[in-house]
Structure formats: C-alpha cells, structure tokens
Amino acid sequence: MTTADTLRFSPLVADDDETVTEWLALLAESAEPSLSLESPPPCPVDMVGSLRHAPPDTSLEDWVVRRDGRVLASLRLALPAGAPMVRVDQLLVHPSVRRQGIGRTLYSYALERAAEHGREGITATVVEQLPDGPERDPGPSAFAAAVGAKRSESGAGVHQWLDLELNNPLADGVPALAEGYELVTWGTTTPEEYAIAVSKLELSLGGASLDIPDEQVETSYARRFEVMRVGRGRRAYHTGVVHTASGLLVGYTSISKTTGNPQHALQGMTVVHTTHRGHGLGIVIKLANLAQTLEHVPTLRMLETANAEGNAAMIAVNAAMGFRPDARWTTWTS
C-alpha cells in the first residue's frame, strides 16, 4: 500500500467544530518547535475566520488529510479570479509524521485540483534564508525541489521585522508633513468619504487617475477587504494623507493585528499616488500611523512587513524605520 492509499482528504468546513478543533491543534503543534518572538503562534480566531472569509476576488478550498481518523495534514488552495494558476497558501504536515511521503501526496492532490479547475498549475511561496539573514529551515525549499517545482528568479519578497524594543523609530517624533497636505486617521472601518479612493489607490498601487467618476468603481475593494478583516477578528489602524487644494485622499497606510498575539502586528499596504510622490509623505504617514497604533495597542513590540524585492524605495523607507530583513519569500511553480 502506498502512502497515498492510507490518506483520506476531506473538505474543511468552518461549521464542523470537531474537525476545526483538530485542524487548530495541527497548526499549533506544527508551529511549536519554531516558536520565538519572530514566529508567533497562529491566532485561532484569525484562522477560523479565514475559513469563512476569503480575500476579495479569491475563493479558497481547504482540505484536511486523515490517516486512521486522525487529522495529520492540511492543504489550502486559493483561486484568485482570472489568474492562470492555483496558489497553495498552506501545505502542512504534522511534525511527527514528516518524511513519509505525505507532503508529496498533498502536492499531487493540489496539482489535480488545479487541473480540475482548469488552471495551468500551482504556485507557492517558500520561506528561504537571506544571504546574511537569520537561519531558516532549508526543508521547505528542499521539498519544493523534490516535488519538481521550479523556483522563480523574479517576484521574490523580503519579509522584515521591526523590534520596537531595539529600534524606536518614534524617538524623534513624527517628521513634519509637507505643506499643502493634511493627515487623517481611521480605524478598521474606512470612512464612507475615503472608501472609493482607498480602493483605487490599493488596486492601482497609486497609479490610477484619482478623478475618474466613482460610478466606474463598480464595487468597493476596501469594503470587501474590511469584511474579511472583521470576519477574521482583525482590527486595523490607518493614516491617510489628503491633498488640501483638491480635497483628494492621495495616500494611506495600514497596520492590522489579530485578536491574539498582543505583541505582534502587520504593517500592510502603504501607497502614495504617483503624482504626489517625492514629498516624504510615505515615511510621515507610516510613522504617524505607528504612533496611532501604539496608543491603541501599547503592548505592541514586533511589527512585520513584506515588500517585493525590487521595491527598493519602500525597503529603504523600512530600513530607515529600523526594520531588519528576516527572510526571502520565493515563488515556486509547477
């Protein structure tokens, strides 16, 4: 009998409490060996919420894998609308049963599902050590190579951490904002007046015309993103910048955190419209937003972020804030 013959795949459904509890135990026990300040445990509220709320324009397929009735692996496939590939968001085998061919079976299953969905193949992000970075487990990339995936030379990301106890970017306060601009702040829910501007800025990474009629933005991306965030028990802190003369929101930045892990938060999107770059707005909104977040979450110590490796401007802004590169996120495809 092959390993595959001993395994049973079943869909993971949010309302199946028993299976969800087993899945959460799998996630927690898999994280345990590498727990540290830089790798906090998964937040159960966030993980259960993720079963109910996919990111905008994406559907998720979650599978648990049992042997003799026990959940010992899981697979999450993401299907972004219109994309040619299926993205593997989670491919996890319990540490006690690794190197038995279970990972390989999950990978083949992911390929089969991609074919059934009419997609060209699968893509996955693998965490790797940076040349001068902290040590990383070489297992995941060895596994990806063993199952025949190809490592892409482009499109890698750099994951970074800011330890606020070691580097306080607010020691000298928030720098002055360039003339002609005003800061605005909001929390988890985007104010109605900014919802469309936030959607346009986010989807175009600041490149879209800001005065296209609102009716042409069919649905607010910002609102759908919020539904996911709230459904996952996350809260968020935003600082935006308004161009005083036109009254338009021309940039914003976002920090979010899960219900659990009070010391940890995620520095998410920062975007400044192309026509308003070069005035130092990016660093001011990021620092002002960190100050706002610390007022609400005084326990915060570790802020994580990730940028495309080619985004030298943002990585330089982050380095100036005290972020330190932590790992390289590479893309593998089959």
Nearer to ligand ACO, 86 or 91 (CB): 91
Rounded to whole angstroms, the Cα distance separating 306 from 159 reads 4
**Contact with ligand ACO (CB under 6 A) among 4, 40, 45, 104:** 104
CB 296 within 8 A of CB 266: no
Q: Nearer to ligand ACO by C-beta: 68 or 211?
A: 68
From the list 177, 237, 225, 231, the residue with the least C-alpha distance to 50 is 231
To ligand ACO, the closest distance from the beta carbon of 125 in angstroms equals 8
Shortest reach from residue 292's CB to ligand ACO, in Å: 34
Positive or negative CA dihedral for 287, 263, 308, 56?
negative
Among 66, 98, 223, 277, binds ligand ACO (CB under 6 A): 98
Q: Does 250 help bind ligand ACO (rule: CB under 6 A)?
A: no
Q: Is 128 left (phi over 0), alpha (psi -120 to 50) or beta?
A: beta
Interface with ligand ACO includes 85 (CB under 6 A)?
A: no
Task: Give me 333's structure tokens.
Answer: 């495809």
Q: Is 101 in the site for ligand ACO (CB under 6 A)?
A: yes
Residue 100 or 263 with smaller CB distance to ligand ACO: 100
Out of 48, 51, 64, 93, the only residue in the binding site for ligand ACO (CB under 6 A) is 93
3-state secondary structure of 185: strand
Residue 124 near ligand ACO by CB under 6 A: yes
Q: How far is the CB of 143 from ligand ACO (least distance, A)?
A: 4
Burial 260-280 (b: 16+ CB within 10 A, else e): ebebbbbbbbbbbbeebeebe
Contact positions with ligand ACO (CB under 6 A) in 136-155: 139-140, 142-144, 146, 149
Q: List the one residue out of 270, 267, 236 whose CA is nearest residue 251.
A: 270
70 and 57 Cβ atoms separated by less than 8 Å: no
Residue 75 in the binding site for ligand ACO (CB under 6 A): no
**Quick check: 332 binds ligand ACO (CB under 6 A)?**
yes
Q: Which residue has the tokens 């890698």?
A: 156
Q: In terms of CB distance, is 20 or 149 closer to ligand ACO?
A: 149
Q: Can you tell me which of 100, 129, 259, 311 binds ligand ACO, judged by CB under 6 A?
A: 100
Residue 92 in the binding site for ligand ACO (CB under 6 A): yes
Span interacting with ligand ACO, options 85-93, 179-187, 248-256, 276-284, rule CB under 6 A:
85-93
**Closest distance to ligand ACO from the beta carbon of 283 (Å):** 34
Cα–Cα distances (Å) from 105 to 53, 147, 201, in that order, read 27, 10, 41
Mention every residue, 6+ apart, whose C-beta is less than 8 A from residue 221. 56, 198, 199, 202, 203
Kindly state the number of chain residues that form the binding site for ligand ACO, as judged by CB under 6 A: 21
Nearer to ligand ACO, 79 or 255 (CB): 79
Angle at the Cα of 204 from the Cα atoms of 201 and 205, rounded to 5 degrees: 70
For ligand ACO, the closer of residues 96 and 216 by Cβ is 96
* Separation of alpha carbons 183 and 107, rounded Å: 47
- Interface positions with ligand ACO (CB under 6 A): 88, 91-93, 98-104, 124, 126, 139-140, 142-144, 146, 149, 332
